Amino acid sequence: MPRPRPVRTPRRLRTPPVGDNRRVRSFRGAWSLAGLAAGAAGLATSYFVAMAMTIRESPVVAVAELVIRLTPGWLAEYLIGLVGRLDKPLLLLGIFVFCGLLFAWAGRLARRIWWAPTLVYAALAAVGAVGVATQRGATLTDHIPVAVGFVTWLVTLSLLTEPLRRGELAAAHELVTVPGEARVESLDLVGGGGEAELAPPEHTRRSFLLRAGVVAAGAAVLTTVGRVVGRGRRRVEESRRLLRLPQVSEPRVPASARVGLDGVAAWQTRNDDFYLIHTAIVVPTIEPRDWQLRIHGMVDREITLTYSDLVERRFDEAWMTLNCVSNEVGGSLVGNAWWSGVKTADLLTLAGVDAGADAVLQTSEDGWTCGTPLAALTDERNAMLAVAMNGQPLPIEHGFPVRTVVPGLYGYVSACKWVVDWEVTRFEDITAYWTERGWGERGPVKIASRIDVPRSGDEVAAGQVAFGGVAWMQHTGISGVEFQVDRGPWTRAEIGQVETLDTWVQWKGVVDVEPGDHLVQVRAIDADGNVQTGVDRGVLPDGATGWHQVDFTAS
């Protein structure tokens, strides 16, 4: 009887030692299957999280929309001519097939190089992230589904391939050892790092099939639940689309508001470009017919207002600039829109406010609160419960179906989105979300101005250089803007003419500039003649101050 050769346990199985073993071959399909199942699981969790977070689209749909945007018009037309209205379903199908192939490939890669699938997943996640980031009005939290999908891919793939590795090692071991001679106690799992018992192939096979089954079933369940969960948002989007608000008119930008300098922020901020700030990770989705506002506290009559009560009242419409207290000097957390809704003063008169009250504690559907000075909600200004923004029903992210807007106050004390409760009260008896965190109680806006042209680091032609930007001091109004190059004399800018005190103004001016590096600064003057201070202060606790400055080079 020939002596068997001594055998060393392979630490890393680059290729299975014997190719024609049936068991080893049967594993190959299993690796692809593991890749497919893990891939499907990641798509399912990302879809579920997107739906649960009421994000508009799942990452796959975001990528599909990206593909559509990137497709040249002539090609898109040709393809649509070919497949007609099946274009979008076919595109999604194509993306799924492409992903399926990649997933299967990733599974097979894992067999030889355990970390290689990570690269495949990272590349796919990067494409997903680009798709999400290029969606209109995308925010940072919209990327959470992509991240969850990526982690799911990694975890499920290692979960599914673990029994396969064990099985292959066992099979390989069986081929190269003779029972009873060199007994192998344990093997290092490739990439697993841990110790594993050599299990009989039937066992690892069963364990693999069980895990794959659980993963596939889990993916199916998550997808189904995601569809059900996402229905809420789809329905609200649908209700929003079908909503007709006869009192709402289209915004018409007064021609005099524009100074006509390219690069200066548009006087009207489009809804998709309007900055977004909220603490809610899951954006409330409220059907108009389910919406109610309860007005109570220090009032003569408690009122509960429904959406139809609200839209039957007389509407008020106005241009209003809204800004965030967290906006740094020169920052972009500010926008100007045409708002339509009902005056808050009318509603508070209806309820009858007690003489001792000085605040309204507003609460949104997601529990966020702000304390608003009662005076700002009842005086002559255009504080309103808004139902439309720029002639459209409020976008869901901007507070659909109803939010508050108050000219002259920062958003954190006034602009409650998804508002459902008003308690008329006194400041001394309440705290609110941001005041509990050290921000100022009343939140009046501060005068501010910004340079949009040139941008920091720009190179411009020396000689007559154009400067421009925006300035705001809501409910007081802006009477002038001045800018200064290299701390020289202040130059009076031309400002756009607006009919209200509640919006920003555009400004522009031209100054002769020598070749070289320069610094431009801006300051505004309000309608009362107050000049914006050059003292630099941070945003906490009640808004930044200081002059915006921009470096540029003339050549």
Ligand X SMILES: Nc1nc2c(c(=O)[nH]1)N[C@H]1C(S)=C(S)[C@@H](COP(=O)(O)O)O[C@H]1N2
Only one residue has tokens 């891939």, namely 39
Residue in 324, 342, 370, 525 binding Mo ion, rule: CB under 5 A: 324
Q: How far is the CB of 464 from ligand X (least distance, A)?
A: 37
Q: How far is the CB of 369 from Mo ion (least distance, A)?
A: 14
Q: CB nearer to ligand X: give 191 or 331.
A: 331
- Residue with smallest beta-carbon separation from Mo ion: 324
Q: CB nearer to Mo ion: give 172 or 370.
A: 370
- Counting every residue, how long is the chain? 555
CA distances from 425 to 49, 136, 405, 420 (A): 39, 39, 19, 16
* Residue 277 touching Mo ion (CB under 5 A): yes
Q: How far is the CB of 368 from ligand X (least distance, A)?
A: 4
Choose among 92, 52, 36, 44: nearest CA to 68. Answer: 92
Q: How far is the CB of 232 from ligand X (least distance, A)?
A: 18
Q: CB nearer to Mo ion: give 205 or 278.
A: 278
Q: How far is the CB of 297 from ligand X (least distance, A)?
A: 19
- Which partner in ligand X, Mo ion, none is near 415 (CB below 5 to 8 A by kind)? ligand X
Q: CB nearer to ligand X: give 5 or 136.
A: 136
Show the beta-strand stretches assigned E in 120-267: 187-188, 195-196
- Which partner in ligand X, Mo ion, none is near 109 (CB below 5 to 8 A by kind)? none
Choose among 497, 495, 502, 508: nearest CA to 255. Answer: 497
* Residue 412 touching Mo ion (CB under 5 A): yes
Q: CB nearer to Mo ion: give 189 or 277.
A: 277
Q: How far is the CB of 417 from ligand X (least distance, A)?
A: 4
Q: CB nearer to ligand X: give 153 or 307.
A: 307
Residue in 167, 230, 411, 509 binding Mo ion, rule: CB under 5 A: 411
Residue 498 has phi, psi (to 5 degrees) of -125, 155
CA distances from 68 to 80, 95, 131, 139 (A): 11, 12, 11, 21
Q: How far is the CB of 400 from Mo ion (least distance, A)?
A: 18
**Which residues contribute to the site for ligand X (CB under 6 A)?**
274-280, 322, 324, 364, 366, 368, 398, 411-412, 415-418
Choose among 310, 338, 311: nearest CA to 322. Answer: 338
What distance in Å separates the CA atoms of residue 496 and residue 509, rounded to the nearest whole number? Answer: 12
Choose among 67, 52, 69, 506: nearest CA to 267. Answer: 506
What distance in Å separates the CA atoms of residue 47 and residue 149, rounded to the nearest whole number? Answer: 8
Q: CB nearer to ligand X: give 233 or 518.
A: 233
CA 365: distance to chain centroid?
19
Interaction site with Mo ion (CB under 5 A): 277, 324, 411-412
